[in-house]
Structure 1
Amino acid sequence: MSPGRHYLSRRTKIIFTIGPATESEQMLEALICAGADVIRLNMAHANHEWTRTIMRRIRTVSARVGRDVAILMDIKGPEIRTGDLETPIELRVGEIFDFTVKPGSDRRDAEEVRSVDVNYRDLVNDIRVGDTVLVDNGLITLEVLAKDDAHIRCRVLAGGELKSRRHINLPGVTVNLPSLTEKDRADAAVGIEEGVDFIALSFVRSAADIALLREFLAEKKSKARIIAKVEDQSGITNLDEIVLSSDALMIARGDLGIECPLEELPIIQRRAVRSCLANARPVIVATHMLESMITQPIPTRAEITDVANAIYELADCVMLSGETTVGRYPLECVQTLDKVARRIERETNGLPPDIALFTSERMKILHSATVLANQIPGSKILTFTRRGTMPHGLAALRPASAPILTFTPDAALLRQLRLLRAVEPYLMPLPSEPEAMIEDAIRLLKQAGRITTGDKLIVATDILSGDRFVESVQLRTVL
């Protein structure tokens, strides 16, 4: 089965999270052929045996359909959770409730108060009286009344059923958990052994968190690229330094919507996208994009508008989570994103005029290629890369409609280029002679039906001038 070609007109990339609903070879093939570009593994719900099996299965299916997609491993990062409960606890508004950081410790008073253990012992040192504790994605809200070395006493403000191992959010509280846990290191090591393309680091609070993961990748001699997930107020406060330190940014709206006031979420999203555009970093908008399609075959009108807004903002990628891990309609979700993206992209005009990237001579040259492409209807940009610099620069400049046809001899780099908006990567050895390289690429593109006689190509590449290579922009007509 060969992949459909309609998605080549789509500039926004699609990431889906693999799970029970999508892990079969048949479904993987269908989703890749429908135009999925990157497949995410959520390591919060994965063991190492499953991870190895799935990564190898993705590579096998990709090779069979002739479309090599990227694999993104999302490691869990620092996380605070409640402990196990024999039976769920129904918390009532006004009830006094304890979080216990030292299981089995005696209370200093004789009052009978229900409690649950917490996996982070230093929580009592980080939290203050008056702070808010959110449990289970914000469904349960408590206020801290008092604390000692073993217990944190709270009043329930918004009740609900508390089950085992529920996630805890602490809006405005800086916790001293390590940014890269032992579990993260073990998970990442498995991904590296299997050739993972991207590693997403959860709850990034500063550039130092990125540096720690980068050191780990260097020790393992991995070329995987780092995606920083912005999920709390610390990440927003340090947004620009995080963007500059990472290889890409994920706006993880699930935890962000808990950690920050909901009315701030659209503002945060727009600010994060624009920071990535200004600093030439790819950006992913994630979480709850088509949440209703977990159980329903069509999305809500509000969800379609949400997806459209991310595309209007010129995000590189939109991402599916529960919709494709446990949802009933994973293929329809990818098809919906594809359809909406292609339609909205016809209404966008490339990079906003107040964002200009003239940070280097190379970016000035690539900007001229983008301007030329924008002025010639139906033109396409052609470029070549061994490290990814040229396509990254061109994608950051957001040409209005021209695809960025990129040739590389590196299969791993080809997969990483799938993250970039408007970039279509192709695998090809790169001859040392620039003209031969261009002619080989044109021949392959004609054979693939991607270009035809009379098409206009904006070629951004190196040319030989005397005894050195210089960067150039050429306008060519396909013969």
Structure 2
Amino acid sequence: MKKTKIVCTIGPACDSPDMLDKLAKSGMNVARLNFSHGDHTSHLVNIKKINELNTHLEVPIAILIDLQGPDIRLGLFKEKTFLEDGKQVVLTTKELVSDAETISIDYKKFPQSVSKGSFVYIADGTIELKVKEIKGQDVICEVVVGGEVNSRKNVNIPGAVVDLPAISDKDANDARFGAENKVDFIGLSFVKTAKDIMELKELLEKNHSEADVIAKIECIQAVNNIDEIIKAADGIMVARGDLGVQVPIEEVPNIQKMIIKKCNQAGKPVIVATQMLESMTKNPRPTRAEVTDVSNAILDGADAVMLSGETANGKYPHRAIDMMNKIIRETEKTMNNLILENYNEPLSIEHAISRSVCQSAHDLHAAAIITCTKSGYTARTISKYRPKKPIIAVTPSLTETKHLNLSWGVYPLLIKNSLDTDDLIKDAVNAVKKTGLISEGDTVVITAGIPFKIPGLMNFMKVHIVE
């Protein structure tokens, strides 16, 4: 089984029950709903489709809703429009239907945020405009690098201080919608500090949500505050689209590697996103550079890789995830265990046991590592060390089976709550045996926290021969 997880963005190209089933069978672990597009009605339809699909799956697909965040977006177009190099275009805060000559923008302070000579980037930096003049609500620009543009594309103004709240009214409303519909992850866009994350967590707690918060790293402030953000968040997304406009694009690879390393050391799942197989939105095969990009993200230590337009509105959604799966499996053949030899600080009991579990599984040629976990902590701690053996996390918590869908190498399995340690081990082994992942005579390494009812406890390890 593959160990690196796949996040697929759901959209018109893949939201039929048949296509969702194909994506699940091809390796989709998490379904992403982009709240920069669509409304609650359309998103609810997709949530219900995924929940229905989950009734037929051994490991349910988790749902991640991606909040729009305090980013700036274009207004609505009647149809796709092409901006030509050298032409003039007016960006305006007036509400109107956009065309190639005048485009509405949803940030009312936009004219105050730019000056003559400023550069404005649209659609993850693929379109470049230069400000020539400002007249009231209108910003007159020259198209430096043109291209196709349509409704709700993102806008970046490098170096500008954008006066927007961390969580907009729309974001708060969308987060409450996510809580009401029991989604598993909520992505917070344009995080700047740990305070932004805590604000969302407080909102979710008030709405009785168990959703994990994924902090999207998209601006230089987030990069500068990465340590506190990793500590506060439940997971991280390296959102290279906006990040590659907010910082010099040549810095993105090193920033990506730095963030992944810090997340690995902290034991927090990290997703690498944006343009991974971008050419497959139109072509049936990716470029060699894209294949190498995906492979290198995995070798860097990413827990998950993400498909955006490739599955949401591309011509080949099934081919895209199938290719992603193939790249993952081939890359993982050459991956080494991440034992983190450079750690000099004393280890906690949990981490000492985790390292011992991974080493023992390797030395004994065990078929699998079985972790018994209530909160997911045990499985995530072992995942941190990247063992070659599969980590099968048995848990009585449906919530945690979905949360663990973002953790590298973890195969979550729902079991009933056991009364004592002996029953727990017996039930865990039997449940895993039924999946076909282990067989009679196999050696497995089992770890848990005793007593099991205490979340986050890990103090037990056993080598077991499957009967």
Aligned position for 2:349? 361
Segment drifting more, 258-267 vs 283-292: 258-267
1:412 maps to 2:404: no
Q: Say which SS state the counterpart of residue 58 (structure 1) adopts.
A: helix
Matches of 1:85 and 1:346, distance apart in 2: 47
Shift of 1:237: 2.0
Segment drifting more, 433-442 vs 352-361: 352-361
Aligned position for 1:430? 417
Aligned position for 1:340? 327
1:273 maps to 2:229: no
Aligned position for 1:50? 42
1:381-400 alignment, distance < 5 Å: 381-399=369-387
CA 85–365 in structure 1, closer or farther in 2 if over 3 Å, else same: closer
**Identity of paired residues, percent?**
36
* Residue type at the aligned position of 1:462: G
- Determine which of 103, 106, 112 is the counterpart of 1:119: 106
Aligned position for 1:80? 72
1:475 maps to 2:467: no
Residue by residue over 1:56-82, the C-alpha shift from the partner in whole angstroms, topping out at 9 and shown as x without a partner, is 111111212443110111111112134
Aligned position for 2:166? 179
| Mapped contact 1:130–1:145 kept (Cα < 8 A) | yes
| TM-score normalised by structure 1 residue count | 0.87
Q: Say which SS state the counterpart of residue 14 (structure 1) adopts.
A: strand
Shift of 1:239: 1.8
* Residue type at the aligned position of 1:250: M
In structure 1, runs of 5+ residues without a counterpart are 1-8, 105-113
1:433-452 alignment, distance < 5 Å: 433-452=420-439
Aligned position for 1:460? 447
| Mapped contact 1:99–1:116 kept (Cα < 8 A) | yes
Shift of 1:143: 3.9
| Mapped contact 1:278–1:355 kept (Cα < 8 A) | no
- Determine which of 232, 236, 243 is the counterpart of 1:249: 236
CA 450–96 in structure 1, closer or farther in 2 if over 3 Å, else same: closer
1:6-25 alignment, distance < 5 Å: 9-25=1-17
Segment drifting more, 314-323 vs 155-164: 155-164
Segment drifting more, 46-55 vs 366-375: 366-375
Q: Which of the two has higher C-alpha Rg?
A: 1
Residue by residue over 1:441-478, the C-alpha shift from the partner in whole angstroms, topping out at 9 and shown as x without a partner, is 1122223221112322121113469xxx9712222222
- Determine which of 286, 308, 312 is the counterpart of 2:273: 286
Matches of 1:206 and 1:115, distance apart in 2: 35
| Mapped contact 2:366–2:445 kept (Cα < 8 A) | no
| Mapped contact 1:56–1:194 kept (Cα < 8 A) | no
- Determine which of 67, 71, 87 is the counterpart of 2:59: 67
Matches of 1:395 and 1:289, distance apart in 2: 24
Matches of 1:464 and 1:349, distance apart in 2: 33
- Determine which of 28, 32, 57 is the counterpart of 2:24: 32
Aligned position for 1:167? 154
| Mapped contact 2:92–2:139 kept (Cα < 8 A) | yes
Shift of 1:145: 5.8
Shift of 1:152: 4.6
In structure 2, runs of 5+ residues without a counterpart are none
Q: What is the CA RMSD across the aligned residues, in angstroms?
A: 2.7
Shift of 1:434: 1.0
Matches of 1:24 and 1:157, distance apart in 2: 39
Segment drifting more, 449-458 vs 135-144: 135-144
CA 354–122 in structure 1, closer or farther in 2 if over 3 Å, else same: farther
| Mapped contact 2:123–2:153 kept (Cα < 8 A) | yes
Residue by residue over 1:69-127, the C-alpha shift from the partner in whole angstroms, topping out at 9 and shown as x without a partner, is 1011111111213445789685653x7765444789xxxxxxxxx76543222334444
**How many aligned residue pairs are there?**
457
Shift of 1:163: 5.7
Residue by residue over 1:281-314, the C-alpha shift from the partner in whole angstroms, topping out at 9 and shown as x without a partner, is 1000111111222222222222211111111112
Shift of 1:350: 2.1
Residue by residue over 1:384-423, the C-alpha shift from the partner in whole angstroms, topping out at 9 and shown as x without a partner, is 1111111111112222x11111111111211111111011
Matches of 1:361 and 1:174, distance apart in 2: 45
Residue by residue over 1:6-29, the C-alpha shift from the partner in whole angstroms, topping out at 9 and shown as x without a partner, is xxx211111111111211111111
| Mapped contact 1:459–1:474 kept (Cα < 8 A) | yes
- Determine which of 175, 196, 211 is the counterpart of 1:188: 175
Matches of 2:173 and 2:235, distance apart in 1: 22
Aligned position for 1:198? 185
- Determine which of 201, 206, 212 is the counterpart of 1:225: 212
1:403 maps to 2:390: yes
* Residue type at the aligned position of 2:12: P
CA 376–208 in structure 1, closer or farther in 2 if over 3 Å, else same: same
Aligned position for 1:350? 337
Segment drifting more, 138-147 vs 419-428: 138-147
Matches of 2:348 and 2:160, distance apart in 1: 39
Shift of 1:150: 4.5
CA 322–96 in structure 1, closer or farther in 2 if over 3 Å, else same: closer
Matches of 1:370 and 1:66, distance apart in 2: 25
Aligned position for 1:111? none
Segment drifting more, 64-73 vs 133-142: 133-142
Matches of 1:244 and 1:316, distance apart in 2: 17
Matches of 1:276 and 1:62, distance apart in 2: 29
Matches of 2:23 and 2:131, distance apart in 1: 46
| TM-score normalised by structure 2 residue count | 0.90
Shift of 1:361: 2.6
